[in-house]
């Protein structure tokens, strides 16, 4: 009995297609034609080669960004994209990339310079522009000053093109700048070129084809033409074999000061003195923290004033260059150089507060044994203890005075509080009395208003009675006249008139009314 076996069938891979848009100025070698890359690079000073894998998500994400950069720099840079995943292409056979995409930048025939930054348009464009112009032309002293101020590390070369159309050291200098970009793609070290002798004098360089190496805290290292090929290696080495021209202040402060001011010229004589322990304080004029620590340094100098085997010194690194092995990258900084062991200098810990006790403890821990007849750590410690005891005693006295002042203030505050309570109580009583008076005033005002009203009514009534009384008098007079003329029955006797007057006006009216009714 025969069984049918399934045939092993492997589908052939589909041929690759364009990875980038045909509308962008990028030559897409999607078949992996590595041999055409060099031909394309010959037509441009700067070339960018973008190695990709069509299936790679990072390559797909970077595709839009590389196309954006190509549209911006198409007139200056030749952009080439190569499919390095296609198994039949020469790129896959010549390169063994472990990740994609890979971006290589070439300056003329120099390269590749591998880009390791973010795959974003603005970052890639910045890097490509830096490779396109590895040297910054500095036509004036202001441009030179700006260049040195904006970059912590800089290399400036002086080449006189008037004497030679192509100085021999210029190509070496350019090659060194490109080598540095390959070593440091972020461009921490910048390269500049000066062609004017007057501008070169601003960095104390007068010899043609000289190189000036600059760092923020050690501003110059001058090399001659014969060492240009090795200056990049020496730039990174802690001990450079190149000839150094250090720049510093020309005049030194008077030596009788408690704190020895160190310059470029006096550095080795003061700091490297094998008979003295030296504490060196690094500072600058623009460092605010350095200014704050001056009083601590002065107290330390006064404490060690009687010790001839110890020196407190300081150096302004903004005005004085130092050998590279004695440079610092942080301000303020204290370095201690023990005598007989200058090569074993010690840096004051950055995580420790800079106080007088901490500095003294640091010096004692690293100082050399004291020779006979000179003050040793024990004597200095005793002097420090006496000083501290005097300061503690002064603080205790100040504390007692402060306690007395606080007690007096507390008593005064207590007295004022009691007086305030009394005033508040008296004020409450006055407010209560004022309320009672206000109520009484309102009541009396009401009563007075009612009395005035009644008096007004009585006045009105009195006026009416007066008017009526006057009328009655007139009537009585008329009646008398009638009585005297009519006589007999019609008359009235004087006794009746008196009785009428005694009865008053009201009764008179009633009588009169009665008479009118009778008549």
Q: What pLDDT is recorded for position 10? A: 53
- Read off the pLDDT of each residue in 19-30 and give the average, rounded to a whole number: 91
Helix or strand (DSSP H, E) at 67? helix 57-73
Q: Structure tokens of 204?
A: 């104390």
Q: What pLDDT is recorded for position 197? A: 80
Q: What pLDDT is recorded for position 222? A: 47
Query: In this structure, which CATH number among 1.10.10.10, 3.30.413.10, 3.90.650.10, 3.40.30.10 belongs to the domain 26-129?
Result: 3.40.30.10
Q: Where are the domains of the chain?
A: 26-129, 134-236, 260-375
| pLDDT score of 366 more than 90 | no
| pLDDT score of 435 more than 70 | yes
Pairing between β-strand 277-283 and β-strand 310-316 as defined by DSSP bridges: parallel
| pLDDT score of 58 more than 80 | yes
DSSP 3-state of 238: coil
Q: What pLDDT is recorded for position 408? A: 94
- Would you say the CATH fold of 134-236 matches that of 26-129? yes
Domain 260-375 = CATH 3.40.30.10: yes
- Read off the pLDDT of each residue in 5-24 and give the average, rounded to a whole number: 72
DSSP 3-state of 181: helix
Residues 6+ apart with CB under 8 A from 497: 476, 480
Q: What pLDDT is recorded for position 157? A: 83
DSSP 3-state of 96: coil
More confident residue, 192 or 256: 192
* 39-43, 359-363, 372-376, 393-397: the lowest-pLDDT one: 372-376
Q: Structure tokens of 432?
A: 């209560």
Tell me the DSSP string of 102-141. EEEEEETTEEEEE--S-SSHHHHHHHHHHHH--EEE--SH
pTM above 0.85, yes or no: no
> Mean pLDDT across the chain, nearest whole number?
80
Q: How far is CA 33 from the centre of its chain?
A: 54
How far apart are alpha carbons 1 and 250 in whole angstroms?
108
pLDDT band at 486 (very low <50, low <70, confident <90, very high): low
Omega before residue 248 within 30° of 0, cis: no
DSSP 3-state of 28: strand
More confident residue, 268 or 493: 268
* 253-267, 339-353, 443-457: the lowest-pLDDT one: 253-267
pLDDT band at 316 (very low <50, low <70, confident <90, very high): very high
Under a CB-based contact definition with an 8 Å cutoff, are residues 366 and 346 in contact? yes
| pLDDT score of 192 more than 70 | yes
| pLDDT score of 352 more than 80 | yes
368-412: per-residue pLDDT in tens?
665 554 555 556 666 667 877 888 899 999 999 999 999 999 999
pLDDT band at 69 (very low <50, low <70, confident <90, very high): very high
For the ranges 183-192, 218-227, 304-313, the maximum mean pLDDT occurs at 304-313
| pLDDT score of 127 more than 50 | yes
More confident residue, 241 or 254: 254
| pLDDT score of 135 more than 90 | no
Q: What pLDDT is recorded for position 401? A: 93
Sign of CA dihedral 482, 486, 490, 492: positive
Q: Structure tokens of 60?
A: 């797909």
Q: How far is CA 177 from the centre of its chain?
A: 35
Q: How far is CA 325 from the centre of its chain?
A: 33
507-518: per-residue pLDDT in tens?
555 445 544 443
- Read off the pLDDT of each residue in 434-445 and give the average, rounded to a whole number: 92
Under a CB-based contact definition with an 8 Å cutoff, are residues 263 and 248 in contact? yes
Distances (CA, A) of 120 to 58, 63, 66, 69: 11, 10, 8, 9
The CATH superfamily of 134-236 is Glutaredoxin (3.40.30.10)
* 141-150, 228-237, 436-445: the lowest-pLDDT one: 228-237
Q: What pLDDT is recorded for position 373? A: 47
């Amino acid at each position: 009995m025969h069984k049918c076996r399934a045939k092993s069938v492997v589908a052939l891979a589909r041929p690759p297609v364009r990875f980038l848009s045909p509308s962008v100025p990028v030559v897409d070698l999607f078949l992996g034609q590595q041999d055409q890359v060099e031909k394309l690079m010959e037509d441009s000073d700067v070339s960018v080669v973008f190695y990709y894998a069509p299936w790679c998500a990072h390559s797909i994400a970077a595709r839009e960004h590389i196309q954006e950069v190509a549209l911006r720099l198409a007139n200056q840079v030749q952009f080439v994209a190569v499919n390095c995943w296609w198994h039949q292409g020469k790129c896959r056979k010549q390169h063994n990339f472990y990740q994609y995409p890979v971006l290589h930048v070439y300056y003329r025939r120099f390269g590749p310079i591998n880009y390791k930054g973010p795959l974003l348009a603005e970052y890639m464009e910045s890097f490509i522009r830096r490779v396109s112009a590895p040297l910054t032309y500095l036509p004036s002293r202001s441009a030179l000053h700006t260049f040195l101020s904006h970059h912590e590390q800089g290399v400036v070369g002086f080449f006189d093109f008037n004497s030679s159309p192509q100085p021999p050291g210029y190509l070496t200098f350019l090659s060194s700048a490109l080598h540095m970009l390959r070593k440091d793609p972020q461009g921490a070290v910048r390269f500049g070129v000066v062609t004017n002798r007057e501008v070169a004098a601003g960095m104390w360089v007068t010899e043609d084809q000289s190189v000036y190496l600059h760092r923020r805290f050690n501003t110059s290292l001058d090399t001659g033409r014969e060492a240009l090929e090795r200056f990049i290696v020496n730039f990174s080495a802690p001990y450079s074999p190149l000839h150094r021209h250090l720049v510093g202040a020309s005049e030194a402060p008077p030596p009788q000061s408690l704190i020895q001011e160190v310059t470029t010229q006096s550095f080795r004589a003061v700091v490297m003195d094998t008979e003295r322990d030296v504490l060196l304080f690094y500072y600058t004029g623009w460092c605010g923290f350095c200014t704050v620590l001056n009083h601590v340094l002065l107290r330390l100098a006064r404490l060690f004033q009687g010790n001839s085997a110890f020196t407190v010194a300081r150096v302004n690194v903004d005005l004085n260059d130092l050998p590279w092995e004695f440079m610092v990258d942080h301000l303020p900084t204290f370095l201690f150089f023990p005598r007989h062991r200058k090569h074993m200098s010690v840096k004051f810990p950055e995580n420790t507060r800079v106080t007088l006790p901490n500095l003294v403890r640091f010096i004692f821990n690293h100082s050399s044994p004291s020779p006979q007849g000179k003050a040793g750590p024990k004597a200095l410690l005793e002097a420090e203890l006496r000083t501290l005891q005097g300061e503690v005693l002064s603080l205790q006295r100040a504390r007692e005075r402060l306690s007395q002042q606080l007690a007096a203030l507390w008593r005064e505050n207590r007295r004022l509080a009691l007086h305030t309570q009394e005033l508040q109580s008296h004020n409450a009583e006055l407010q209560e009395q004022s309320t009672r008076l206000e109520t009484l005033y309102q009541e009396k005002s009401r009563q007075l208003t009612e009395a005035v009203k009644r008096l007004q009514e009585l006045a009105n009534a009195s006026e009416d009675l007066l008017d009526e009384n006057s009328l009655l008098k007139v009537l009585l007079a008329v009646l008398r006249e009638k009585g005297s003329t009519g006589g007999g029955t019609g008359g009235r006797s004087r006794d009746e008139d008196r009785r009428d007057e005694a009865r008053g006006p009201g009764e008179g009216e009633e009588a009169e009314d009665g008479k009118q009714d009778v008549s």
